[in-house]
Structure formats: C-alpha cells, structure tokens
Chain A
C-alpha cells in the first residue's frame, strides 16, 4: 500500500513541479558539459575522413539528432499511452511537453542531412530511405501538435493526442520498412546516407557524447516545458 502511494506521489503535478525544476537545472548543465566534450572529440581528436574529408563532421550533430528524434517519439507515445490508460494528467502533460523538442530534433536531422548530402553526394535531398522516413516522422510530430492545438478542452486534447500518438508509434516501423523497400525499387541515385564513413572509434565516441548531450538537453527542455504546462493548467 505504501509502495503504491510512493509510486503515485510524484504523479501529482503539484508535487512533481519542484522536482522537475531541480532535475532540469542539473540536465542543462550536464548537457552543456557533454556537448563541450563531444565537440572537442569531434573537432580536435577525430581524424579527417579518407573519403569525405572534413564534411563528415556534420555527423556529430546529424546522427545524434536523428536518434533523439526517433527516441523522443517513442517517449512521447509512452507517456501519452500511460496518460490514456491510467487517466493521469501529468503523464499526458509530459507527452505534450516532449513533442516540440522531438520535432525540433527531427528538423535538425533533416537540415544537417541535407547539408551533409550536398558536398558528399551532390544534392541537398536524395530521397534516401532514412531522410524520407525522418521527413514523415516530422509530419507525425507536427500532426500531433496541430491536433492538440486545435482542441480547446485540455482533457480531450490529451486523450485525442494519445490515440494519435499510439497509432503513430505502431505505424513508424511499417512506414520505415515500406520507405526502405521503396528506396531500393527506385534506385535512382545509388547513394545512401546509411553508408556512414568507416567509423574510427574516436568518431563513435564523439557521436555518443553528443547523443548523451542531446538526451540531457531534451530532458531539461521537456521538464521546463511541462512546468509551463502545469502552471498554465492549474
């Protein structure tokens, strides 16, 4: 009984509010430190790539941003599902708080992907399977945000968004594999952004550090946003 009480203690927006602030502050700092470390490795430790020269250094943003965009969508769908299943307000608020950050990272992945593609393969957009899937993911994020924005009643917005997010997250693998198949069928440009440069371990280290930095940033931004949502609603 007391374990259950402890578990749901922080499910109340009021009690979660100060905790969110503390965690967010720690994560802002952590994110900044990890970013400095990651960029140092990326620019001053990782060597020049044999095939792509210096342009490859964009992957220290592109790949972590793409990872975050996909991870955050799942996180968003998770909190939305919890909110729908247990009728907990805070869970739904978390889903709404995560969405804009996820959409932002999706955009960053697309932008950096385009700027990486141009010097490496000649065109800003090559309808590569991963970039195309990222584009559709962006539409999924924007659809979620647009639906919630169009509904005035917060509870209806929470629940409708949850259904959409669950339908979306179930469809993401289907979309990804169908786009991948589509890409092989229409093998126009035989290029693939998935064929990353052969990874020196320092390159991987840089990418992982940046990924962690983005992750902590996302936590901080989402918690800051959920605090705003709590204030606005209560």
Chain B
C-alpha cells in the first residue's frame, strides 16, 4: 500500500474524520484505562 505522501495518509480518501476519529477515541479510552489503573494502584498502596 503506497500513500502518495503524508497529506493523502491523513485525508484517508476524504474519510479521515471517521478513521482518525475511531483511532483517536480508541487510543484515548485505552490511555484513560491505564491512567485510572495507575491511580488505583497508587491509592491501594497507601
């Protein structure tokens, strides 16, 4: 799969909003879970 440059990659054939909206929210969810786990671990240690 060859993208004709980064701008094409981000545009995703016009569907960039949907593709990156999905990936961004997924990443945010997983990051939030890890963050809350760390916080819970710290509080449990006390």
- A and B, one complex? yes
Q: List residues of A whose CB falls within 8 A of some B CB.
A: 43-48, 53-55, 57-58, 61-62, 65, 100-101, 104, 107-108, 111-112, 115-116, 118-119, 217, 221, 224-225, 227-228, 231-232
Sample (10) of A-B pairs whose CB atoms are under 8 Å apart = A55-B12, A65-B26, A104-B33, A108-B26, A111-B26, A112-B25, A115-B18, A115-B19, A119-B15, A224-B37
- Inter-subunit contact A48/B15 (CB<8 Å): no
Q: List residues of B whose CB falls within 8 A of some A CB.
A: 1, 3, 9, 12-15, 18-19, 21-23, 25-26, 29-30, 33-34, 37, 40-41, 44-45
When distances are taken between beta carbons in the complex, the residues of chain A under 8 Å from B21 are 115
- Inter-subunit contact B19/A55 (CB<8 Å): yes
When distances are taken between beta carbons in the complex, the residues of chain A under 8 Å from B19 are 54-55, 57-58, 115
Q: Is the interface of A mostly helix, strand, loop or mixed?
A: helix
Bound form: Cα–Cα A175–B1 in Å: 40
Bound form: Cα–Cα A118–B17 in Å: 11
